[in-house]
Amino acid sequence: MSDPQPPWQEWLNSLDVPRKAAAESLCAQFSSLGVTDPVDLIKSEVMEDLPQLARFVLLRNLWHGAIDGWTEPGSLDQLPAGQRLLAAGTDREDLVRLVRAVAYEAVFATLDELDAGGDLNVSGVEAGWVVMESGEDGSPTGRTLSGLHEDLLTMDPSGHDGTDLWQ
């Protein structure tokens, strides 16, 4: 009696050749980004045509740069207000936590506004926007990245969903 195939391999084998190749490529890319269990993301991208890789990379980069970038040595010292607060005896860890929380709120508000796609409170203005995935050459793929603000907390690289920001 042979062992049954693992669900991932079974699913891969059920795909046509182009989708199987896409799934395997996505698996390699997510793995190179350190994602340990990308199966649901891959299935969503392959079967639902949702740009999960682009979404992951964007949200991860926002955490690493805009939010967690403040944990880097010297980051507070580059701001005159940060220098003054530290010189006045403010606890560096508390100040870093405050700045990270403010950065998180700014990123969240920006993503929420981008997800809204336009200002619904302004009449007579026919302008809007969309966040769209692009290919390697920078040209749009036609696949939109929506609901980004909804997943920002879950992309916290610490795995704590941002709970340390409000301690």
Domain boundaries, the chain: 7-48, 50-166
How far, in Å, CA of 28 to CA of 38, rounded? 10
What is the Cα 41 distance to its own chain's centre?
13
Residue range 51-69: average pLDDT? 97
**Among residues 145, 147, 167, which one has the least CA distance to residue 158?**
167
pLDDT digits (tens, 9 = 90+) for 28-41: 999 999 998 999 99
pLDDT of residue 22: 97
Residues present in the chain in total? 167
Supply φ then ψ for residue 120, to 5 degrees: -75, -10
User: Mean of the pLDDT values across residues 80-92?
Assistant: 97
124 pLDDT band, cuts 50/70/90, is: confident
Please, what sign has the CA dihedral across residues 43, 109, 114, 65? negative
Statement: residue 80 has pLDDT above 60: yes
Beta strands (DSSP E) in 31-160 are 132-134, 140-144
For residue 127, which of 118, 137, 116, 115 has the smallest C-alpha distance? 118
pLDDT at 119: 76
Structure pTM?
A: 0.89
* Long-range contacts from 134-143, C-beta under 8 angstroms, 24+ separation: 134/54, 141/51, 143/49, 143/50, 143/51, 143/54
Identify the burial level of 88 via C-beta atoms within 10 angstroms of its C-beta, where 0-12 means exposed, 13-18 middle and 19 or more buried. Answer: exposed
Q: What was the pLDDT predicted at 139?
A: 97
Backbone φ and ψ for 159, nearest 5 degrees, come out as: 85, 5
Judged against a pLDDT cut of 60, whether residue 96 lies above it is answered with yes
Q: What is the mean pLDDT of residues 56-82?
A: 96
Region label for 79, one of left (φ > 0), alpha (ψ between -120 and 50) or beta (otherwise): beta
Mean pLDDT across 38-56: 97
Q: Would the pLDDT of 4 be above 70?
A: no
